[in-house]
Structure 1
Amino acid sequence: MKTFEELGVNEPLRKAVEELGFESPMPVQERVIPRLLGDAHDIIALAQTGTGKTAAFGLPVLQRIDPDINRPQALILAPTRELCLQIGSDLADFSKYVPDVKVLPVYGGSSIESQIRMLKKGVQVIVATPGRLIDLIKRGVVKLNDVHTVVLDEADEMLNMGFLESLEQILSYVPEERKMLLFSATMPPDILKIAKRYMKDYEEIVVGSRNEGAENVRHLYYIVNARDKYLALKRIVDNSPNIYAIVFCRTRRDTQEIADNLIRDGYNAEALHGDLSQQQRDIVMKKFRDHVVPLLVATDVAARGLDVDSLTHVINYGLPDDTAVYTHRSGRTGRAGKSGVSIAIIHSREKGRLREIERIIGKTFEHKEVPTPEHIIEKQLYNLADRIERVKVNEEEIAAYLPGISRKLEWLSEEDLLKRVISLEFNRLLDYYKDAPKIDVIDVKPSKADRKRNKGEREHERPKNDKEKDRRTAERGMERIYINVGKRDGFFAGNLIDMLNKLVTGKRVDVGRIDLLPAYSLFDVKKADARKVVGALTGADFYGKRIHSEIADADRDYSKIADKRKGKKGNK
């Protein structure tokens, strides 16, 4: 195994990466760094995210910069704001001991004026999303005449997002004599088109196999009736006590609905999709990166650029149409030498698609039965025992309290004490899974008996239309509350729960059914809490919109009220 010094990396950069914990080069770094530093011209590198790509191109890019030339010399293009920021942050870390080299990320969703000010001061490396870069070029702020190195990171993702025309436009501003490096997890036909048109005598470097998922990933599938997918998801999550996962959905609507249902069922989850504002998106991603939230329900587009190395699972709530998308999803786990699991929850009509993905990626999916309640509870109990064994005991801090606690509990036997500890942790789980049926059913057209089965457990069937939602009254013992914000305002179940936790004083409010509509929302709380909730919400602010809330009238058509308010607003 070679060292960074043997690859040709200079001392200031080596010092920085050693401080970051880089002990020896990863395979992609061994193969790319000497070529970029040497005479090799253009390179296509097929490698998964999490294999050390940024250092593979970042170190030679930084080393080839002339600090005396205060103009852009290297251009790195990335598909998303988040990846752009991540690359910029990594390059700043690598160049810690090369202070004269300036790196600037430029991306949409942030002040273009501040980016222009930094560009006018002079930068040598630009990390950019295509749209914002074109804007800056057209304004005459960015000149690419001195660029000698161009890197396209996650090129297949950029093409999936429709950036082909933008890439071609940007490359037309770059000198023909330049090094070009294209990183991609897969090799779709459009990548070859770019290579043939814009790259000269390119060398293809493959880390792993073409279109293949990460080596450390197990591929599993569960096959259930379509209506039971959500129930299967919950059981899979419950069967993995230390799960840290992304649940991928096909549509924004499915993403938000599943996240809302998980939150309502007591899971710590968040949704990430295109209907969120940039501020909401940043908050969600920070909570997930910081492990505050262990379950992220996301669309593929929204999750692009979210770079985390410690995912235990990727869960496909159904299979994507494009195998390259599945490869990207599964490649988010099993990184940095760790093992990971990619799970597909499918119904019988998706089995052919599963076999097609197996054929293309060269992997076989293991069929698993949906965990039974007994297995889940046993798994959770053993996890609790493991946590008790491993917990750090601060003898000095708790010594003063032990005598009092011992006197309080001395009437309990060891067995009684153990039962109470377990019950504190597991009463909800035990109650939920009491008499729960087996749901691992393979059946294209369910029978009447099957449709009745699990009726009580399938608590979130979608009403047919908004008017039907209006007519639904609160459950017994509950009161229905109206609030004048909805999906169109970026308001979802997680926002409601956050507002109630922050604004309602005293005991935590239990929330029942939540109906989220475009212009307003309806939700249930206990009758005793209803007026307190209305008082707390009314007058509050939700991203600049003043909140109005009231106890809902079952005979009132709130959709018409919302339409009237919308009309008045439009006439102003």
Structure 2
Amino acid sequence: MNIVEPTAIQSEVISVLLSANTDLVGQAQTGTGKTAAFGLPLLQRIDSNQKVIQGLILCPTRELGLQIAKQLFRFTKYTDKIFTEAVYGGAPIEGQINALRRPTHIIVATPGRLIDLIKRKALDLSNVKTVILDEADEMLSMGFKEELDEILTQVSRVENKWLFSATMPEGIKRIIKHHMSPNAVRVEISGRNVVNKKIKHEFLICEENEKLQILLQFLKGEYDNRGIIFCKTKVAAQTLAKQLIAKNIPADAIHGDLLQKDRTKVMRAFKNEKLQFLVATDIAARGIDIEGLAFVVHYQLPDKEEYYTHRSGRTARAGKEGRSLALVNSKELKSIRYFQKALHIGFSQIRPRR
């Protein structure tokens, strides 16, 4: 897969997770290579001859779940067959129940759907030896606290609990205290290792009422290049997508209010290059991994630096270069300065074409 040099999180945790049963708390932003960091040690622990669920990965969104399952599949191309099943809300549960009747070694699940499947006795977690929480802070912010407590209580006797989170709010600290060993190994990867060096960070100062016109100019100048435009809210993403479509720009939006079938339809069109541009919210973009995206535009700046990292990381994948352009008003310049300092990156200012 052309993975040659381990990332910082991979260097820190893979050897720990391979060497012994342990609980581990890893603090690292999205886009730092966490899937391989926990995925490779998990796969190493699976006995492919036992046709039972041995690993459980919990994550916040369908897209991230499918992305993790796809990566695990790629990692096992040259090994004994290890079967992973992704289960998530918003899709018919019957199809997932049928899929789980096949031999399954690893489940990747959103918390709500996993609880539904447990209630229907559609899966057996009694042989699970490793539980992983990926993007734990996002699961909490999406309101999955009770589900996480319930699931972790059910699998309290597992040999390994590995939790990964970009931030450590009080809710995450409580989960660690109640459900994990006090001797859990702790690994923190600082922001300076996070942002891909091949991304060129730019900002353009404009008033709110100029943003749409400047974005249209920028997109027209991108010719065949493809990219994602980020908004902070569902309403803003919906509105912007409608404005772009009205100007005959090949774009559509992905956000939390979309029905699953509509979300799948938009993502399929973007992957198949029927859409050139995708308008997205931060949560909806979790787990989107499409190679060859030339740029991201921050139509609205994010509140947190890890969101900036995650958004920017959609471009410059697989060794390619990319651009991250923020459209900001003069008041937001302090946010640019903050991101510059916190993430150890340089921004260059570009001027709008007049």
Judge same fold: TM > 0.5, yes or no. Answer: yes
Partner of 1:369: 351
CA shift at 1:331, angstroms? Answer: 2.6
Any residues of structure 2 matched to 1:220-369 within 5 Å, and which? Answer: 220-369=202-351
Q: Deviations over 1:98-157 (max 9, x none)?
A: 555332211122232232233344422111111100111122333323211111222232
Q: Between the two proteins, what is the percent identity of the paired residues? A: 44
Q: Deviations over 1:54-102 (max 9, x none)?
A: 3332222122112343322110112111221222223233334555533
User: Which runs of 5 or more residues in structure 1 are unaligned?
Assistant: 1-20, 373-437, 439-572
Any residues of structure 2 matched to 1:512-531 within 5 Å, and which? Answer: none
* 2-structure distance, mates of 1:249, 1:209: 23
Corresponding residue to 2:4 among 3, 24, 36? 24
Q: Deviations over 1:474-508 (max 9, x none)?
A: xxxxxxxxxxxxxxxxxxxxxxxxxxxxxxxxxxx
1:70 equivalent to 2:70? Answer no
Residue identity opposite 2:91 in structure 1: S
* 1-structure distance, mates of 2:192, 2:145: 21
TM normalised by structure 1 equals 0.56
Partner of 1:114: 95
Distance 1:53 1:353, change over 3 A: closer
* 1-structure distance, mates of 2:45, 2:164: 19
Any residues of structure 2 matched to 1:522-561 within 5 Å, and which? Answer: none
Residue identity opposite 1:24 in structure 2: V
Counterpart secondary structure, 2:225: coil
Alignment check: 8 A CA contact 2:30 2:306 kept: no
* 2-structure distance, mates of 1:309, 1:48: 20
Partner of 1:199: 180
* 2-structure distance, mates of 1:198, 1:307: 31
Corresponding residue to 1:170 among 151, 161, 168? 151
Residue identity opposite 2:51 in structure 1: N
Distance 1:186 1:294, change over 3 A: farther
Residue identity opposite 1:146 in structure 2: N
Partner of 1:90: 71
* 1-structure distance, mates of 2:193, 2:31: 15
Alignment check: 8 A CA contact 2:27 2:164 kept: yes
RMSD (CA atoms): 2.7
Corresponding residue to 2:35 among 54, 64, 81? 54
Partner of 1:35: 16
Residue identity opposite 1:26 in structure 2: P
Distance 1:308 1:156, change over 3 A: farther
Alignment check: 8 A CA contact 2:130 2:158 kept: no
* 2-structure distance, mates of 1:123, 1:166: 22
Q: Deviations over 1:242-291 (max 9, x none)?
A: 43211111233322222222223232211222343322211211121233
CA shift at 1:37, angstroms? Answer: 1.6
Distance 1:144 1:248, change over 3 A: same
Partner of 1:515: none
Corresponding residue to 1:144 among 109, 125, 141? 125
Residue identity opposite 2:148 in structure 1: L
* 1-structure distance, mates of 2:16, 2:162: 10
Q: Deviations over 1:405-460 (max 9, x none)?
A: xxxxxxxxxxxxxxxxxxxxxxxxxxxxxxxxx3xxxxxxxxxxxxxxxxxxxxxx
* 2-structure distance, mates of 1:333, 1:187: 26
Alignment check: 8 A CA contact 1:146 1:175 kept: no
Distance 1:187 1:361, change over 3 A: farther
* 1-structure distance, mates of 2:193, 2:145: 20
* 2-structure distance, mates of 1:249, 1:268: 17
* 2-structure distance, mates of 1:361, 1:52: 17
Alignment check: 8 A CA contact 1:211 1:324 kept: no
CA shift at 1:224, angstroms? Answer: 0.9
- Alignment length, in residue pairs? 352
Partner of 1:532: none
* Larger relative helix fraction: 1
Alignment check: 8 A CA contact 1:46 1:210 kept: no
Alignment check: 8 A CA contact 1:248 1:299 kept: yes
Distance 1:46 1:213, change over 3 A: farther
CA shift at 1:229, angstroms? Answer: 0.8
Greater displacement, 151-160 / 167-176: 151-160
User: Which runs of 5 or more residues in structure 2 are unaligned?
Assistant: none
Counterpart secondary structure, 2:324: strand
Alignment check: 8 A CA contact 1:214 1:334 kept: yes
Partner of 1:394: none
CA shift at 1:23, angstroms? Answer: 5.6
TM normalised by structure 2 equals 0.88
Alignment check: 8 A CA contact 1:187 1:210 kept: no
